Amino acid sequence: MAHSDNSEACARVAVDWGTSSFRLWTLSADGQVLARANGPYGMASLSKQDFAQVLEDQLNRLSVDRHVPVLICGMAGAAQGWCEAPYLQAPMALSQLGLGAVRVPDIERQVHILPGFMQTQPCNVMRGEETQILGLLSARPDFNGVVCLPGTHSKWVRLSEGQIAHFTTCMTGEIFSLLCHQSVLKHSTAGKGWDAAAFVEAILQMMSAPASLADSLFGLRAQMLLEDLPPATARARLSGMLIGIELAATQAYWQDCEVALIGEASLCRHYATALASQSVAVDLLDSEAMTLSGITSAFTQLRET
């Protein structure tokens, strides 16, 4: 896309600051990405007093003027993060997201952190995903359906009239990683490759018999010992079992609904395949684009400070 000379000046900075990662974009006045930065500066690796310096280093590296406003989404706003941005409570309209932003005190720059969402019946929380959903609504304000954000902690979010109406969380990615790397199954799932048929078969097994997860996992190890089960098959079957029981648990969300997937592209394709086995078509949306669109939209919602 062609940039006018005007747009080359950095007008805003967007940051997605998660548990394990840090991503920053400098944006022109018309919303074009001028530069990117990222690194392993996640909340989990920082203490409270480190955040300001990490941000300052990145902004200096990109020569961002001191007057340029910065807006952050994600775990940096958690109680254990940089500066707590208290949760908004669902159901609530995403047009309120920027109004819940908290300005980081005691620093020269104008830095705001966006809040997450909470729900009490039953208890649930998110931080970061709400911003991507705002990005989706910026592009499609009439979207009344379900957003699935696959990942370490997959979110399923029902949107209604611009509100986050209800949501739930599945620890699918975290459990997959623990089982693949730290359990007895690590011997069976190492390496690369993917067995698409085994994945779908496992999805169907979990949809019809979710309890069988409990006594099917060890079978991957046994089948490797006794029948040389290929690691690509074991890994795809393990992923299919975990995504399958996630789909079984969240059926009330996706059944007869318009479903949008936001997340890492290859993982979203697995979720699309899994949902297709249940005759559910999905829209695949780019994760970075939704984050940027959400933060850009939230900038316009900030209170004057």
Tokens 């696959």 found at: 150
- Measure CA 303 to chain center: 26
Residue 46: CB partners within 8 Å, gap ≥ 6? 54, 82
| Residue listed under structure tokens 């809040």 | 115
Binding mask 235-274 for a second copy (x = CB under 8 A): -------x--xx-xxxx-----------------------
Contact set for a second copy, span 145-164 (CB under 8 A): 153, 156
Phi and psi, residue 185, nearest 5°: -75, -10
Q: How many residues bind a second copy (CB under 8 A)?
A: 46
Q: Which string of x and - marks every residue 91-120 that binds a second copy (by CB under 8 A)?
A: ---------------------------x-x
- To the nearest whole angstrom, how small is the minimum distance from the Cβ of residue 240 to a second copy? 13
Query: Does residue 47 touch a second copy according to CB under 8 A?
Result: no
Measure the CA angle with vertex 75, ends 124 and 137; round to 5°: 70
Stretch that binds a second copy, among 23-31, 67-75, 203-211, 232-240 (CB under 8 A): 203-211
Residue among 27 and 280 whose Cβ is closer to a second copy? 280
Asked if 225 touches a second copy (CB under 8 A), the answer is yes
Alpha-carbon span 292 to 193, nearest angstrom: 32
Q: Which residues contact 5 (CB under 8 A, 6 or more apart)?
A: none
Query: Using alpha carbons only, how large is the chain's radius of gyration in Å?
Result: 21
Interface region with a second copy, contact rule CB under 8 A, candidates 2-10, 133-141, 197-205, 216-224: 216-224
> Any contact of residue 212 with a second copy (CB under 8 A)?
yes
Is there binding between residue 21 and a second copy (CB under 8 A)?
A: no
Q: How far is the CB of 74 from a second copy (least distance, A)?
A: 15
The reply to whether 194 sits near a second copy by the rule CB under 8 A is no
DSSP string, 125-157: EESSHHHHHHHHHHH-TT--SEEEE-STTEEEE
Structure tokens at 280: 């559910």
Identity of the amino acid at 247: L
Residue 121 within binding range of a second copy, rule CB under 8 A: no
Contacting range for a second copy; rule: CB under 8 A; set: 23-31, 165-173, 284-292, 295-303: 165-173
DSSP conformation letters of 191-245: SS---HHHHHHHHHHHHH-GGGHHHHHHHHHHHHHHH---HHHHHHHHHHHHHHH
Q: Which residues bind a second copy (CB under 8 A)?
A: 79, 118, 120, 122-125, 153, 156, 168-172, 174-175, 178-179, 182-185, 206, 210-219, 221-223, 225-227, 242, 245-246, 248-251
